[in-house]
Amino acid sequence: MSNTPIRVTIWNEFIHEREHAAVSAIYPDGIHAVLAAALKSHLGDAVAIRTATLDEPEHGLTENLLAETDVLTWWGHAAHERVADEIVDRVQARVLEGMGLLTLHSAHASKIFRRLMGTGCMLRWREAAERERLWIVCPGHPIVEGLKGECFELPHTEMYGEFFDIPAPDELIFVSWFEGGEVFRSGCTFRRGKGKVFYFRPGHETFPIYHEANVQRVIANAVRWAAPSGSAYFGEGRNIPQSLSPISSKHTVDESLHRAK
- Report the site for a copy of itself in 18-77 (rule: CB under 8 A): 19-20, 22-23
Residue 51 or 201 with smaller CB distance to a copy of itself: 201
At residue 29, the 3 state secondary structure works out as: coil
- Identify residue 153 by its one-letter amino acid code: E
Site for a copy of itself in 122-161 (CB under 8 A): 122-131, 133, 135-151, 155-156, 159, 161
d(C-alpha 54, C-alpha 171), whole Å:
30
CA distance 235 to 226: 19
Q: Quick check: 1 binds a copy of itself (CB under 8 A)?
A: yes
- When binding is defined by CB under 8 A, the residue of 13, 17, 70, 182 that contacts a copy of itself is 182
Whether 50 contacts 8, CB under 8 Å = yes
DSSP type of residue 84: -
Nearer Cβ to a copy of itself (86/254):
254
Query: To the nearest whole angstrom, how small is the minimum distance from the Cβ of residue 67 to a copy of itself?
Result: 17
DSSP state at residue 207: S
Q: Would you say 56 or 171 has its CB closer to a copy of itself? A: 171
Q: Is 3 in the site for a copy of itself (CB under 8 A)?
A: no
Q: How far is the CB of 227 from a copy of itself (least distance, A)?
A: 10
Among 5, 79, 177, 208, binds a copy of itself (CB under 8 A): 177
Rounded to the nearest 10 degrees, what angle do helices 31-43 and 213-226 cross at? 70
Nearer to a copy of itself, 50 or 224 (CB): 224
Look at strands 6-12 and 195-200 and give their pairing. unpaired
Return the number of the residue (35 or 117) whose C-beta is nearest a copy of itself. Answer: 117
Sequence-distant (≥ 6) Cβ neighbours of residue 126 within 8 angstroms: 158, 159, 161, 180, 182
Among 67, 82, 163, 211, binds a copy of itself (CB under 8 A): 163
Residue count of the chain, please give it.
261
Site for a copy of itself in 184-223 (CB under 8 A): 185, 190-196, 205-206
The least CB distance from residue 14 to a copy of itself, in Å, is: 16
Query: For strand 47-53 and strand 171-178, is the pairing parallel, antiparallel, or unpaired?
Result: unpaired
